Every structure is written in C-alpha cells, then in structure tokens.
C-alpha cells in the first residue's frame, strides 16, 4: 500500500522535528528528558499537525519498557485490561509504556481505571490531545503528569517541512519536480500552522499535475489557488479557540485598539457566530464603556438588531460599526462595579429594612403604618432635588457608584455637587 507523504515524512529522531523549539530546542526540557533517558508520565496538548504524535513515538522508542499504543477514539476499557493482563510477562519486566492518542475521548471511568496503574508504576503514560487537558482530563492524572503544550508551527517551520516533503516526493517519482517560487509560502499560509495539512496539499498538488513531454512535473501557483482558496480558520465552537477569540475580542475593545478589535471580529465573522458576537457587543457597551458614553448601548443595540435582520454576509457591516464605536469610545466600568458592590453587600451584610418614608403608600391604612408619611417629593423643590435618606439605616453611608475620570462622568460629578450645594 502506498503510504501518504505525511507518513513518509514523519521524523524518527528529535533532530528531524520542525518547530517546537520551546520544547525541543537546545537545553529545553523535553530534549533533556530524551537525552537523559528519563521517562515520566507526560501529556502533550496542542493543535493538530504540530508534532505531538511524532514526539511521543520518538520518546516511546527510546525507552526499554514494553510499548503499547492505543487511540482513545476507538479503544475500549477492555483494550486497556488486555494490556495489563500481559504486565507479568517477561517482556514487560521493565514496565509498560502506554501511548494513548486523543485521551480526551476516554470517559471518566476509563481514565480512573488507568489512574490506579499509573499510581502503582505499572504503566507509564504518554498521552496526546488536541483539547485543553485541564478541561478534559481527570485531575488526578494531571497531578501525576508533566504537561507540555505544542504550539502552531510558524510559516518558516512549515516551509522547512515542505522542502523535506519535496525531497521524498522527488525520490518516489524519480523525476524532476519544479514549482513556482511562491508556492511553498502560499501552502504554508493556507495550512495555518498545521504541517500535516501543508504536506497533504503539497502531495495532492503533485499527484494532480500532469507530466510534460519529458516526463517532468511543473507545479504552478495558479492551479493550487484554484483548488485551495482559503486557509483553515482555527475556531471550533465551545473549545479553546472559541473562548480565546471571544476573550481577545473583548479585551481589545476594552483596550481601545480598533484594529485588533476588528481583527478578532473578523475571526468570529468567518466562523459565522452571529449570536456570540451580538451578545458580546451588548455586554461590552455596558461593562467597559458604560457611563463614559451612555448612548453607546443604544447605537450597539441598533447595530445588533440590524445584523440579526440582515444575516451574513451583510451583518458584518453593522457589527464592524458597533465594534469601532465601542473600541474608540471612552471607557468606564463604574456601572458594573456599582451593581457588583451592591449585590455583595446584600449577600454578606445586614443591610436592614427600607426606610419607612420610601415604602409603598398606595393603599388604605398605609398612613397608620407610617408608610410614606415623611417622604419629600423632589419635584416640589428647587432643581428637583431635596436632601433626604434613601438607603436603609444600616448602610446609610454606603457608596456604590464611583464616577470614572472621563468627561461624561465628571460632568455628572459637577451636576451632583451643584444640586446638593444649592
């Protein structure tokens, strides 16, 4: 069977692995572990096509333990039990190394079963996952493992891997393969940090190119652009990329960076996640702009309503307007701080009863109960203001609203001073 180019390219030693210098570079932790022949429980996590499985295989082959490999997408608890039944075999006298790919697909019961043998030392675990291990892996396994994060490969790393792939392809075809200078750069951009995807694009481009009269292959950029137009957007709803993008979106608006705000909006637009964008814009208008520009929520609500009415692709325009309004507005979180402080008081302090003069007096007998008797109607006084107590006695001096140091709220401060002084 003809192996895929990505499998032929798979490194057999650490020196052949591209990227991940923070883990595999000179004096890095994983490089030293391999050099010292030390083996411990490890969890590799990161995006697909970044070398997790490759490094795990290299590590496994360096050990003197009996190696078993399972993929959690297809493996069952019985497969693990079968491995453990062989643990007393002479070939397992140095212990078992279990390489478990996609460990996040093992449920809680399966992971707990593994834990017993990890604790006893019968199994040394090397696991890989594309998901955040802190969300998907049993805490007891995490506490007994070293966690290593694999990052998206840079364009330079991808191009380096593509050159190696070309060398292998040339030997397979036993012919001359020529290509436009900017092809590898274009493929690296399309792959978005995933070497496996880059190699697959390269392989398909080679196999879909007809040889010339001399039997040589010439790959031109136009044919690749025709078949591969868009790069992969790393956005899977309810996974890390999803929450990271939303977080970056709000933090960029809060930080008053309109360009970064629009960039992260574009990611969300490409993911066609209209509801999340609308909800986030509405909360930002109140949480981060708030009293510094109270009309922001009105503008944003209008933009959000327009976006929902229009749908994609036109929805991107009012969403961009709302984003830029918020990113370029003055900022204040005084409204959020005020309500949070008041809620905290209600939850933790004896706030006391509502003052009698503020209680409802719209019923027969209210006056006999003293309800509303001493209430002063502000509109009967100059500037529609009269000094009277509104908070309960127990917290009558509490202060929840602290105006921000922006033009709008400082105007509020001056207005409040003026009516109180008069």
**Overall average pLDDT of the 245-272 stretch:** 94
User: CATH number of the domain that 358 lies in?
Assistant: 1.10.3710.10
Query: Which residue, among 69, 146, 67, 63, has the nearest Cα to 103 in the 3D structure?
Result: 69
Mean pLDDT on 265-276? 90
Strand 42-45 and strand 123-129: the pairing is parallel
Are residue 196 and residue 93 in the same domain, yes or no?
no
* Assigned domain for 205 exists: yes
With H, G, I as helix, E, B as strand and everything else as coil, classify residue 70.
strand
Task: Give the three-class secondary structure for 387.
Answer: coil
**Helix ranges restricted to H, 311-404:** 316-327, 334-348
**What is the predicted pLDDT for the residue at 235?**
54
- Does residue 3 fall inside a structural domain? no
3-state secondary structure of 204: helix
Paired with 148 in beta bridges are 44
Residues linked to residue 124 through DSSP beta bridges, in sequence order: 97
Give residues with Cβ within 8 angstroms of 28, minimum separation 6.
21, 22
Q: Per-residue pLDDT for 204 more than 50?
A: yes
Output the domain CATH number for residue 209: 1.10.8.60
pLDDT tens digits along 160-183: 888 888 888 877 776 777 777 788
**How many Cβ atoms sit within 10 Å of the Cβ of residue 214?**
7
Q: What is the DSSP string of 68-81?
A: EEEETTT--HHHHH
* Count of structural domains, the chain: 4
- With a pLDDT cut of 90, the percent of the chain lying above it is 38
**Is-contact 28 4, C-beta < 8 A?**
no
**pLDDT on residue 1:** 45
What range defines the domain where residue 104 resides?
Answer: 20-149
Task: Read off the CATH number of the domain in which 303 is found.
Answer: 1.20.272.10
**Confidence label for 233 from pLDDT (cuts 50, 70 and 90):** low
| pLDDT value of residue 284 | 97
Pair (32, 137) in one structural domain: yes
Q: Is the pLDDT of residue 209 over 80?
A: no
Which of the four pLDDT bands, split at 50, 70 and 90, describes residue 344?
very high
Q: Please compute the mean of the pLDDT values over residues 196-207 and round it to a whole number.
A: 84
Closest residue by Cα to residue 121 from 60, 209, 39: 39
Phi-psi region at 137: left, alpha or beta (left = phi > 0; alpha = psi -120 to 50): beta
Would you say 133 and 45 are in contact if contact means Cβ atoms under 8 Å apart?
yes
Q: Note whether 77 and 37 are same-domain residues.
A: yes
Q: Is the pLDDT of residue 379 over 90?
A: yes
Average pLDDT over residues 307-317: 94
Considering the domain boundaries, does residue 14 fall inside one? Answer: no
Instruction: Report the length, in residues, of the chain.
Output: 422
Question: Is 86 domain-assigned?
Answer: yes
- Examine residue 374 and state whether it is found in any structural domain, yes or no: yes
pLDDT at 2 (0 to 100): 67
Question: Please, which pLDDT band fits residue 120 given cuts at 50, 70 and 90?
Answer: confident
Q: Where are the extended beta strands (E) located within 46-85?
A: 66-71
334, 290 Cβ separation under 8 angstroms:
yes
For 348-372, what is each residue's pLDDT tens digit? 999 999 999 999 988 888 888 888 8
CATH number, position 94: 3.40.50.300
Residues 24 and 145 in one domain: yes
Please indicate, yes or no, whether residues 137 and 202 belong to a single structural domain of this protein: no
Taking the CA atoms of 191, 197, 202 and 206 in sequence, report the sign of the dihedral they define.
negative
Q: What is the pLDDT of residues 27-69, one digit of tens each?
A: 888 878 777 777 889 999 888 888 888 888 888 777 777 788 8
Q: Are residues 44 and 117 in the same domain?
A: yes
* Mean pLDDT comparison of 3-7, 74-78, 82-86, 393-397, highest-scoring range: 393-397
Query: Looking at the predicted structure, is the pLDDT value of residue 231 above 60?
Result: no
- 262-269: average pLDDT: 94
Residue 221 has pLDDT above 60, yes or no: yes
Cα separations in angstroms, 283 against 146, 274, 344, 400: 38, 15, 20, 20
186 part of a folded domain: yes
**Whole-number Å distance between alpha carbons of 255 and 263:** 14
Structural domain ending residue among the three candidates 121, 149, 177? 149
Let me know if residue 11 belongs to a domain.
Answer: no
Say yes or no to pLDDT of 91 above 70. Answer: no
pLDDT band at 303 (very low <50, low <70, confident <90, very high): very high
Structural domain ending residue among the three candidates 298, 327, 356: 327
Mean pLDDT of the chain: 86
Residues 321 and 204 both lie in one domain:
no
Backbone phi, then psi, for 168, in 5-degree steps?
A: -70, -40
Within its chain, how far is the Cα of 377 from the centroid? 53
Cβ atoms of residues 323 and 265 within 8 Å? yes
CB neighbourhood size of 234 (10 A): 19
Q: Is residue 145 located within the same domain as residue 28? A: yes
């Amino acid at each position: 069977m003809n192996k895929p180019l990505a499998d032929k390219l798979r490194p057999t030693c650490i020196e052949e692995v591209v990227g991940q210098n923070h883990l595999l570079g000179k004096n890095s932790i994983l490089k030293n572990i391999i050099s010292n022949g030390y083996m411990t429980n490890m969890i590799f996590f990161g995006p697909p096509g970044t070398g997790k499985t490759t490094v795990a295989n290299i590590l496994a082959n360096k050990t003197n333990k009996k190696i078993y490999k399972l993929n959690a997408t297809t493996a069952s608890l019985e497969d693990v039990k079968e491995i453990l039944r062989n643990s007393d075999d002479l070939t397992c006298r140095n212990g078992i190394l279990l390489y478990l790919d996609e460990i996040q697909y093992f449920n809680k019961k399966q992971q707990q079963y593994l834990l017993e043998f990890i604790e006893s030392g019968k199994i040394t675990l090397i696991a890989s996952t594309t998901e955040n291990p802190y969300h998907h892996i049993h805490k007891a396994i995490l506490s007994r493992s070293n966690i290593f994060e694999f990052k998206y490969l840079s364009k330079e790393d991808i191009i380096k891997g593509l050159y190696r792939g070309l060398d292998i392809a040339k030997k397979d075809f036993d012919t001359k393969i020529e290509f436009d200078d900017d092809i590898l750069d274009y493929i690296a951009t399309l792959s978005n940090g995933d070497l496996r995807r880059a190699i697959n694009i390269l392989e398909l481009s080679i196999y879909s190119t007809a040889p010339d009269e001399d039997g040589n292959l010439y790959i031109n950029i136009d044919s690749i652009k025709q078949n591969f137009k868009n790069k992969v957007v790393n956005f899977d709803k309810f996974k890390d990329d999803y929450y990271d993008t939303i977080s970056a979106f709000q933090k960029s608006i809060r930080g008053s960076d309109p360009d970064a705000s629009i960039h992260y909006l574009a990611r969300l637009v490409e993911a066609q996640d209209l509801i999340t964008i609308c909800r986030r814009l509405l909360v930002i208008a109140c949480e981060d702009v708030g009293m510094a520009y109270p009309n922001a929520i009105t503008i944003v609500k209008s933009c959000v309503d327009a976006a929902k009415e229009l749908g994609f692709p036109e929805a991107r325009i009012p969403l961009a307007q709302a984003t830029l309004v918020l990113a370029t507005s003055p900022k204040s979180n005084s409204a959020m701080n005020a309500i949070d402080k008041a809620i905290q008081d209600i939850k933790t302090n004896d706030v006391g009863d509502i003052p009698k003069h503020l209680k409802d007096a719209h019923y027969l007998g209210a006056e006999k109960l003293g309800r509303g008797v001493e209430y002063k109607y502000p509109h009967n006084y100059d500037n529609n203001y009269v000094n009277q107590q509104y908070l309960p006695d127990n917290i009558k001096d509490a202060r929840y609203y602290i105006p921000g140091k922006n033009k709008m709220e400082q105007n509020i401060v001056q207005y409040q001073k003026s009516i109180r002084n008069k």
